[in-house]
Structure 1
Amino acid sequence: IDRRLYPAEFCSKLDFMDYVWVQYAFYDEGYMHGVLAIKTSFRESMGMYAETLPSALEHLSKAYKITQKRLDGPKAASDAAIAGVTILAIYQLVHGHVETGLVHFAGLCRMIQLRGGLAKLMKHNRKSDGDSKHVVLTEYRIDLEFALQSGLPLRFGAAEVPVNSNTIKTRLISPTHTKLYEHGGNAELICILSDATAFTNLLNTTDEASRLDPLDFSEQAFSLIHRLIDFAPLHLSRPTNLTENLLQLALLAIMTNSLPNYTTDARRYELLAKELKKAIQRQVAFTNVHWKLLLWAVFVARVSIFHETQDERIMPTIMNICQNLDIDSWVQIRQVLGGYCWLHVTHDTGAIEIWEKVKAMEEVHKQ
């Protein structure tokens, strides 16, 4: 499961027997039933869609009963109580029950407030620094997930979780980013793009000897996603500037690949996919198109949150963009993608597949 939570290509292996959330399952019955409710929601090992199976409901019922009893007692804001509500919120996320999950999360936020907030919870946690950071990053990550799925603003502030600034290299504003700014891009958003590019560049050069600590990886990824959602939540007023709108959505799409995921259910980001699809369509119809940005955004969408069933609609768009840029090879495509935020290890294969489909379509049109 650690390979799902922390990508093996970029992260060192985590000893799950020392992982605080696993330890809870050994000594807290309510949390254990919550974990089992998630595990038994899958007919196969943590990779298919979650189902509401009888065995899962049995464990879920026990988890609710034990957690509610604890919440009604004097230890309603204890570590164990927070863990119990956390696993119930994760269960709802896994099943796509966002509204129910938000109810749990609202209660969880109140419990954390009673403990002084995320930062204080980590600082004064009685466990080791690593364990306390695991706890806080999990709550932080759940906040991001609910914001992405519901479109609502984040509940925790960016300053709640300290980020290790030594993980990524110093921000560098490249010529590509400067052109975006000249094209009407927001300065704050360009800075996020530059930081995200520095992060992905670091990951692109990671090898077996230089893999990141899982916590450092999570801190950086979560911080970037937090800044992007803060810039413009998905369900509220969207940026009127078409370049800003497309850039923010594409960055969110590519960064979602860094979020821990228990299933292969891509439907959890339907709202983001819908907004990105509209942004691409508007950019195509725009009189002053930023073609390279659009090319990058379309490929990002395809390798992250779009489904293969949308390929027939995407391919003509890619053909049109490439004609305007006078591009006719994967080498040229890769050069454009590399100028933005792109993960070669995880994204090149999917991008090459769609490019080969585009070339095949071109051959058919020539006949």
Structure 2
Amino acid sequence: WLPFVMSDVTLLHTMLLLSASHCRSVHGPNVHAIDTITLRGWAIRGINESLLDRTKLASDELVAAVFNMATYEAIFGDRDTYILHMSGLRRLVEHRGGLARLGLDGLLERTLLWIDSNASLIMGFDDFCFPKAMFPSVYSHPPPDPQTF
């Protein structure tokens, strides 16, 4: 996973944003001097640039960056922005040809379903953003576990 994350600056920015935000939520606002607002801006700018680049559009790195941003919004942000990221993620997955076409030997697919399961619970949704009827998968949504999300 780490070499994959390090292979793309936008994906790295999203992971740093999640990590810095989590660290701050656990240890308090003065635990580090990382400007998460700037980091969030870099991540969003990188995602937007990747969406305009035919070589990066719907790449595994872009899919992972967007699901990281959706995770960030589910935990630290707001519902509307989470929905925006998940809607974009649905379009990326459709563009790729479905969940089974995501890479890393099923890791991205399983991670996306885990995020969908946990974020749906946290956000109070009645259904998943990636329901099995619309997005067939050999994997099932895992039971949500907010303690590990």
Shared fold, TM over 0.5 = yes
1:117 to 80, 95, 98: 98
Identical counterparts, % of pairs = 22
Superposed CA deviations along residues 56-75 of structure 1, whole A, max 9, x for unmatched, are 11111111111110101213
Residue 95 of structure 1 pairs with residue 76 of structure 2: yes
Secondary structure of residue in 2 paired with 1:24 = helix
Distance 1:77 1:50 in 2: 35
Q: Residue type matched to 2:125 in 1? A: G
| 8 Å contact from structure 2 (residues 11, 43) kept in 1 | yes
Cα shift at 1:28: 0.6
Residue 31 of structure 1 pairs with residue 31 of structure 2: no
Secondary structure of residue in 2 paired with 1:260 = coil
Specify the alignment match of 1:212 in structure 2: none
Q: 1:257 to 1:91 in 2, by over 3 A?
A: closer
1:73 to 43, 48, 53: 53
Cα shift at 1:81: 1.6
Higher helix share: 1
Residue 158 of structure 1 pairs with residue 132 of structure 2: yes
Distance 1:96 1:67 in 2: 17
Pick the structure with greater CA Rg: 1
Runs of 4 or more, structure 1, over 2 Å off, are: 22-25, 46-51, 155-161, 256-260
Secondary structure of residue in 1 paired with 2:145 = helix
Residue 133 of structure 1 pairs with residue 21 of structure 2: no
Q: TM-score, normalised by structure 2?
A: 0.79
Residue 105 of structure 1 pairs with residue 86 of structure 2: yes
Secondary structure of residue in 2 paired with 1:257 = coil
Q: Residue type matched to 1:162 in 2? A: V
Superposed CA deviations along residues 12-32 of structure 1, whole A, max 9, x for unmatched, are xxxxxxxx3x22321110111
| 8 Å contact from structure 1 (residues 50, 94) kept in 2 | no
Cα shift at 1:152: 3.8
Q: Residue type matched to 2:62 in 1? A: A
Alpha carbon RMSD of aligned pairs, Å?
Answer: 2.8
Specify the alignment match of 2:145 in structure 1: 257
Aligned length: 143
1:1-367 to 2 correspondences below 5 Å = 20=1, 22-43=2-23, 47=26, 55-74=35-54, 75-119=56-100, 121-122=101-102, 125=103, 131-148=104-121, 149-158=123-132, 160-163=136-139, 222=142, 225=143, 256-257=144-145, 260-261=148-149
Distance 2:117 2:34 in 1: 30
Distance 1:140 1:259 in 2: 16
Superposed CA deviations along residues 215-255 of structure 1, whole A, max 9, x for unmatched, are xxxx6x71xx4xxxxxxxxxxxxxxxxxxxxxxxxxxxxxx
Q: TM-score, normalised by structure 1?
A: 0.35
Instruction: In structure 2, list runs of 5 or more residues that go unmatched.
Output: none
Distance 1:81 1:87 in 2: 10
Distance 2:38 2:146 in 1: 32
Instruction: In structure 1, list runs of 5 or more residues that go unmatched.
Output: 1-19, 126-130, 164-218, 226-255, 262-367
Q: 1:156 to 1:56 in 2, by over 3 A?
A: same
| 8 Å contact from structure 1 (residues 38, 56) kept in 2 | no
Specify the alignment match of 1:271 in structure 2: none
